[in-house]
Structure 1
Amino acid sequence: MERKLYRYRSFKDDWKEEAFDGIVEPSSPLYFNDPYDCGFCFQEDILSELLGKEDYIKALEKYIPLKREDYDLILSSTDIESAVQIVFQNHGKKFPDSFFKSLRNDASECMDELKDAVRVVCLSETYDSMLMWSHYARNHTGYCIEYEFNKDDMYYSSLHQVRYTKDRFNISKKDILEGRKDIIDKTVCSKADVWSYEKEWRIVTENYIKTRPSKVDPKTRCVLYLKDNIKAFYLGAKINEKEKSEIIEFAKKNNRIVYQMILSANTYELRAERIDNV
């Protein structure tokens, strides 16, 4: 079984590295244009599972000058929330309603850490989306790469279809305790339904520098090599003649197909017209 997917691109300084050499650098979700994208959403009952005792101590220190016995109580406790309340009582202070809000803020910082442990290559099922050409190919002046993946391809198992929903996937304490294996997939590959026009698929990988720091040189670029997967190019309706000629010349030498995107005279649609002499 094969799957054809597309990637809209603009002509940045290093564009030939991706278009001609097939070198693709996965992106960090921290810099995606959707602030919810790849964001881990946890139910309230998971707070104690998500945060360590050191996090509770850090939050306590904002309210109370802790003593040695306070640290010992927290670090040895099997019921962390009860231990926190005892510490407040021992200091003659009322347990503040803002305490868990402070912890949730700390947990939010952890969310960025989790996001940055993932790297993503964004692809689409379609090459003729007016909005995608406008948003990701610099107002139709860029190009689109067609990739073909089959079941024997090394990246095939890393391909995931994005699900579009109204509600976020909330991870519960039960999900963690039962070791649900689809948590990452449901988080990294779920988006708000307003993005459904993108018809997105993703290659999901690790941020190797972060998840395997002892095995990876920090200066190393973690890239995918997709040259053999490239089958065709689609040229934007407003592409510059210089870049158009370069892609056509490369395609002739490397047995690739080239299509020119054409604006319809009667509708708001795009159509792809094959360039015959390639």
Structure 2
Amino acid sequence: MIFPEVRYLYKYTSVNDNSLGIFIKDEFWFAKPDTFNDPLDCGIQLINNISKEKFLEKSNEYLKYLESSRKPRTKNPQLTQKIKSVKEVITKVKTGNALTDEILDSFAKIASESYSKDIKNIGILSLSEVNDNVLMWSHYADQHRGFCIELERNKDSDLADNKKTLPVRYSIKKPDISIEEHEQANKEEEKEIRRSLIYTKSVDWNYEREWRVIQDIGNKSYKINAKINSVIFGLKTPEHSIKTIYELFNKTGLFIKFRRARLKEKDFGIEIVDFDPKLMIFNDEIKNDSSSHQSAKSNTAAKLPNSSPSLAPAKLKVNHP
């Protein structure tokens, strides 16, 4: 288990059927990368260093793939044009002495698209190390109207399995992968290439401190072996949504903590505080109210005269003007 100091991971979400399904079915939604808000996510651009022989071999493989994609008695002008273009390139390379930069760039683009298609079909569950980031509450939790799920990360959970869950690496540059490197990779090396693409994002996103759980097929719900430790409501989570989630857990009989975001008094930011969804009040406010009430009772008692040992209450002497 890497980074054992990271004991909890958090899922920001809006209130919807998929997020409520987490509590009903014990399943999380794994989205495809093309649904993400970062257009560069899981993207790939292979470097075009390839020999003439390898180029022709791969081009012919790609041509066979395109031709096999044709459906009988169905017109597909875009596919027909693509097949024509590939044939022209193959002929040009065969009759020429060298690969031009234009041809190499075209091939690298085609290879990148083919490789990206496979990656963009995977499923990703995005989690974070932090639960109090104002931007993430705005972006992923419906502008603070949603909630955040705290998942416990221990050695027996899927969140501690390095084959399934890893932290994102933030970088200024995209991962450099050559066509030759990609083509010659064995199964284990291929996995490492995929991982570097899936777990690398632009440094602009490093405030998210993201971790990712991976499944082979995306846009599906999956169970994960990880205990829900608490649910955190946002600054603007509607009362009816809070009550719905509270009732869902009441029916399951599972014990979890409830907390809620609250604005800090002096600083820009929020703090996460224990919360009672039944009374719709922060726990420290309950204690403060109780302390104030107790203090008021004590002050009242201090003003009254000592009671008589007899059963009859003592009479107060009142001086009338």
Query: What TM-score bracket applies, with the shorter chain setting the length?
Result: 0.7 to 0.9
**Shift in CA distance, 149/101, structure 1 to aligned 2, threshold 3 Å:** same
Letter matched to residue 162 of structure 1? V
Find the partner of 1:61 among 55, 79, 84. 84
Find the partner of 2:197 among 168, 187, 204. 187
Once the two structures are TM-superposed, the CA of residue 138 in structure 1 deviates from its matched residue by: 0.8
**Shift in CA distance, 46/155, structure 1 to aligned 2, threshold 3 Å:** farther
| 1:141 matches 2:148 | no
Determine the C-alpha separation between the residues in 1 that align with 2:103 and 2:159: 45
Letter matched to residue 271 of structure 2? R
Letter matched to residue 258 of structure 1? F
Find the partner of 1:86 among 94, 98, 122. 94
Once the two structures are TM-superposed, the CA of residue 29 in structure 1 deviates from its matched residue by: 0.8
Hey, what does 2:229 align to over in structure 1?
A: 231
Once the two structures are TM-superposed, the CA of residue 97 in structure 1 deviates from its matched residue by: 6.2
Once the two structures are TM-superposed, the CA of residue 88 in structure 1 deviates from its matched residue by: 5.9
Task: Give the secondary structure class of the aligned counterpart of 1:134.
Answer: helix
**TM-score with structure 1 length normalisation?**
0.76
Letter matched to residue 243 of structure 2? S
Once the two structures are TM-superposed, the CA of residue 175 in structure 1 deviates from its matched residue by: 5.9
Determine the C-alpha separation between the residues in 2 that align with 1:277 and 1:270: 19
Q: How does 1:49-128 map to 2 (within 5 A)?
A: 51-55=58-62, 61-62=84-85, 84-87=92-95, 98-128=102-132
Hey, what does 2:254 align to over in structure 1?
A: 254
- Does the CA contact (< 8 Å) of 2:46 and 2:111 recur in 1? no
Please, which moves more after superposition, 20-29 or 108-117? Answer: 108-117
| 1:162 matches 2:168 | yes
- Does the CA contact (< 8 Å) of 1:10 and 1:143 recur in 2? yes
Structure 2, unmatched stretches of 5+, are 67-81, 279-321
Higher relative contact order (CA 8 A, sep 6+): 1
- Does the CA contact (< 8 Å) of 1:251 and 1:257 recur in 2? no
Please, which moves more after superposition, 30-39 or 98-107? Answer: 98-107
**Shift in CA distance, 105/168, structure 1 to aligned 2, threshold 3 Å:** closer
Q: By percentage of residues, which structure has more strand? A: 1
- Does the CA contact (< 8 Å) of 2:44 and 2:112 recur in 1? no
Letter matched to residue 128 of structure 1? D
Letter matched to residue 265 of structure 2? A
Determine the C-alpha separation between the residues in 2 that align with 1:95 and 1:182: 29
Determine the C-alpha separation between the residues in 2 that align with 1:192 and 1:65: 37
Letter matched to residue 267 of structure 1? D
Task: Give the secondary structure class of the aligned counterpart of 2:236.
Answer: coil
The structure having more radius of gyration, on CA atoms, is 2
Determine the C-alpha separation between the residues in 1 that align with 2:139 and 2:60: 44
| 1:243 matches 2:241 | yes
Determine the C-alpha separation between the residues in 1 that align with 2:131 and 2:214: 21
Once the two structures are TM-superposed, the CA of residue 41 in structure 1 deviates from its matched residue by: 2.9
Determine the C-alpha separation between the residues in 2 that align with 1:169 and 1:3: 29
- Does the CA contact (< 8 Å) of 1:6 and 1:147 recur in 2? yes
Q: How does 1:195-214 map to 2 (within 5 A)?
A: 195-207=205-217
Hey, what does 1:29 align to over in structure 2?
A: 33
Determine the C-alpha separation between the residues in 1 that align with 2:213 and 2:87: 47
Determine the C-alpha separation between the residues in 1 that align with 2:86 and 2:225: 57
Deviations 1:73-129 (A, max 9, x none): x7xxxxxxxx7523469xxxx987643443344234314412234211000000100
**TM-score with structure 2 length normalisation?**
0.67
| 1:263 matches 2:284 | no
Task: Give the secondary structure class of the aligned counterpart of 2:173.
Answer: coil
Please, which moves more after superposition, 235-244 or 26-35? Answer: 26-35
**Shift in CA distance, 167/46, structure 1 to aligned 2, threshold 3 Å:** farther
Determine the C-alpha separation between the residues in 2 that align with 1:238 and 1:230: 22
Determine the C-alpha separation between the residues in 2 that align with 1:140 and 1:60: 50
- Does the CA contact (< 8 Å) of 1:160 and 1:201 recur in 2? yes
**Shift in CA distance, 226/64, structure 1 to aligned 2, threshold 3 Å:** closer
Once the two structures are TM-superposed, the CA of residue 263 in structure 1 deviates from its matched residue by: 1.1
Task: Give the secondary structure class of the aligned counterpart of 1:254.
Answer: coil
**Shift in CA distance, 60/225, structure 1 to aligned 2, threshold 3 Å:** closer
- Does the CA contact (< 8 Å) of 1:30 and 1:115 recur in 2? no
Once the two structures are TM-superposed, the CA of residue 201 in structure 1 deviates from its matched residue by: 0.2
Letter matched to residue 61 of structure 1? K
Please give the root-mean-square deviation of Cα atoms over the aligned residues, in Å: 3.2
Determine the C-alpha separation between the residues in 1 that align with 2:246 and 2:86: 66
